[in-house]
Amino acid sequence: MHECWVTGECWLGCERTGVPVIWLGPLQWDGQHAPVHACEPCLDRLKAQALAYFMERRPASV
C-alpha cells in the first residue's frame, strides 16, 4: 500500500477534521465515487478488523 498522509477529514466515524489522514480508496455508491480518508486511530481499528476477518476465513488446513 502506497502511504501518503495529508491533512484533512476522517471519514471513518471519529468526525475529526484537520488531522493527518490517509487515502484508503474510492467509495463507490450509485454510480458515483468519493475519496475515503482515515486518520491513524481509525486506520488501526480498520486494520484490526480486517485482520480478524482474514483469521476467521483462513482455512483450518493451512
Dihedral pair phi/psi, residue 19, rounded to 5°: -115, 160
Binding mask 9-48 for Zn ion (x = CB under 5 A): -x-x-x------------------------x--x------
Q: Which is nearer to Zn ion, 10 or 22 (CB)?
A: 10
The DSSP secondary-structure symbol of 60 reads T
46 within 8 A of 12, measured Cβ to Cβ: yes
Residue 18 beta carbon to Zn ion: minimum distance, rounded to whole angstroms: 12
Question: What number of other Cβ atoms are within 10 A of residue 20's Cβ?
Answer: 12
Contact footprint for Zn ion (CB under 5 A): 10, 12, 14, 39, 42
